[in-house]
Amino acid sequence: MVWNVSYWSKVVRRILYVIFILLGLYIGIKLSVFYMPFLVAFIISLIIEPAIKFIMKKTNLSRRASSIIIFIIVSLLILGTLTWLIITIFSEASSLLQGINDYFDKAYMQFDNLISSFNFDKIHLSDEILEIVQSSTGEILQTVSNWLKNTLTSLINLVTSIPSIAICIGITVIALYFICVDKIYILDQVEHHLPKVWVKKIGIHLKDLIQTLGGYLKAEVTLVFISFIISLIGLYILQFVGFNVKYPLLMALAIGFVDALPILGSGTFMIPWAIICAINGDINLGIAIIVLLIIMSIVRQILEPKLVSKNIGVHPIFTLIAMYTGFKLIGIIGLLVGPIVLIIFKNIFANLIDKGVFKTIFDRK
């Protein structure tokens, strides 16, 4: 057997190239989490950049003056919204946490009554099996109850950690100001300290990444935000007219979170909620929730083609795998992070994927 040194050296180089990129992505993700306030400030700066350019064009003001105007408006909106969210979330989460046992006791009683009213003689189920079903239901409800308690407790702890939140918000606001006002200077400094080859390659990848991932995230965030606002306004209206909607903000946040998950949607949360309301005897609220879901779906169907100009090219099965992997690695937030990381991988390794990963690495050409 002849050992082809040239061929295997090429294979090793290609494998090392992939490993270094994966390692770089891993370090980049870790740094993004560590420097989250600056990342958030950067993302917000990208969102408000068109507004800054619009002010510059219409008023002939300098970039600095236009940036300060938009910065003040955005900062007031962010701080006002965060203050309202913190107060409302703390109030609703505390109230729900206090009465959570009553809700699950009531759910267990409803299920027990349903089992008692069903004629199991027709399907010949033994008493032992019925006991197993009832005990399993109790364990499931207890598990859900404990999970919900832990989630609400974590949410309250997060909301009440005012010093940490205040520091992060303060750093984000200050970073946003400097990024908006001194954007050109910051870009010049980055370009000055990096090799030209790096700047060129990073620029190409960043441009492609912003076009694919940035465009996709912008569209999805817009759609989720619209769904959240419609559900929030709708639930507050239902509460105002007398429906038994006790936690509109928490429910709207849950709807928005589920709506943000690829493959799934707001109906994954709202349909079971409507069914539970109907089982508990509140049929009107169940119907109202379904009507709200229909309104949200219609608005999404109208806006989605305009906001999402093209498909990201990731099959749902791979998106599902990414969601599951993210969930197993970092918990519930991984359901959101997994597909985003998948899109980043697809963008960076686009040529490798198109040609065939193993074919490209082990090809003799």
Whether residue 41 lies inside any domain: the answer is yes
Query: Is position 54 within any domain?
Result: yes
- Please report whether residue 105 resides in a domain: yes
Give the pLDDT of residue 253.
86
State the pLDDT at residue 123.
57
Q: Is residue 157 part of a domain?
A: yes
User: Structure pTM?
Assistant: 0.65
* 296: in domain: no
Domain that holds residue 133: 36-193
12 within domain boundaries: no
Residue 48: per-residue pLDDT: 86
3-state SS of the chain?
A: CCCCHHHHHHHHHHHHHHHHHHHHHHHHHHHHHHCHHHHHHHHHHHHHHHHHHHHHHHHCCCHHHHHHHHHHHHHHHHHHHHHHHHHHHHHHHHHHHHCHHHHHHHHHHHHHHHHHHCCHHHCCCCHHHHHHHHHHHHHHHHHHHHHHHHHHHHHHHHHHCHHHHHHHHHHHHHHHHHHHHCHHHHHHHHHHHCCHHHHHHHHHHHHHHHHHHHHHHHHHHHHHHHHHHHHHHHHHHHHHCCCCCCCHHHHHHHHHHHHHCCCCCCHHHHHHHHHHHHHCCCHHHHHHHHHHHHHHHHHHHHHHHHHCCCCCCCCHHHHHHHHHHHHHHHCCCHHHHHHHHHHHHHHHCHHHHHHCHHHHHHCCC
pLDDT of residue 282: 79
Look at residue 117 in the predicted model and tell me its pLDDT: 62
Decide if 162 is inside a domain.
Answer: yes
Q: What is the pLDDT along the chain (365 residues), one digit of tens a residue?
A: 456 667 677 777 777 877 887 787 778 778 887 888 888 888 888 788 888 888 888 888 888 888 889 889 988 988 888 888 888 887 877 777 776 766 666 666 766 666 666 555 555 556 666 666 666 666 666 676 676 777 767 767 766 666 777 888 888 889 888 888 887 777 777 676 667 766 666 666 666 666 666 666 777 777 788 888 999 999 999 888 888 888 888 888 888 888 877 667 788 888 888 887 887 777 888 899 899 989 988 887 777 666 654 445 566 777 778 878 888 887 777 777 777 777 777 777 666 666 665 666 666 65
Residue 117 inside a domain? The answer is yes
**Overall number of domains in the chain:** 1
